[in-house]
Amino acid sequence: GIVHRLDKDTSGCLVVARHDAAHVALASQFAGRSLEKVYRALVCGAMPSDAGEIRAAIVRHPSHRKRMAVTEGSGGREAWTSFRVEERFRGAAHVTATLHTGRTHQIRVHFQHIGYPLVGDETYGKRANARLEEQTGFRAERQMLHAWQLVFTHPMTGRRLEFEAPPPEDFENAARRLRQGRAPD
């Protein structure tokens, strides 16, 4: 079975266990945060810093039950994302984000919380994406989030394994179009 999930419209690496014992062992690595999950994302806006951390608890949104939100009070689940800007574009940036926790919509919610929602994310960044489209003429068909790298311990051999999935064509095309700073042909 599938050991962890990706949000709808997120591309990239998944872990699938071939039997129950492997599934239990891999799930415990996810729960124990002993594996590494690294994502690539395109975000709206001109990020001022080259790197940073977002430590903000996440809860289910009080009025939109399919969304999550950052909570300033108690009751949320701890969530921690670190990031590094890889490239800056006109009105957007390409970032690498490392998840230290694994909450529903974590990257999407965290980047929206700091004012830089994901390119193409209509749930958490509708207004920012409208501004980006006004600036560049570009509008993504999906959120530009890609599970780029997974590092974990093989449940049977104990070997440390590292997997990478190259970003799909639509992600690369979005980066290329944003790099050009103009509308797609």
Residues forming the active site: 7
Q: How many CB atoms sit inside 10 A of residue 43's CB?
A: 29
Collapsed DSSP state (helix, strand, coil) of residue 177: helix
Per-residue tokens: 21: 């014992």
Provide the β-strand partners of residue 96: 40, 84
Element (H, E) at 70: strand 68-70
Distance CA 80, CA 110 (A): 9
Helical (H) or strand (E) element with 96: strand 92-99
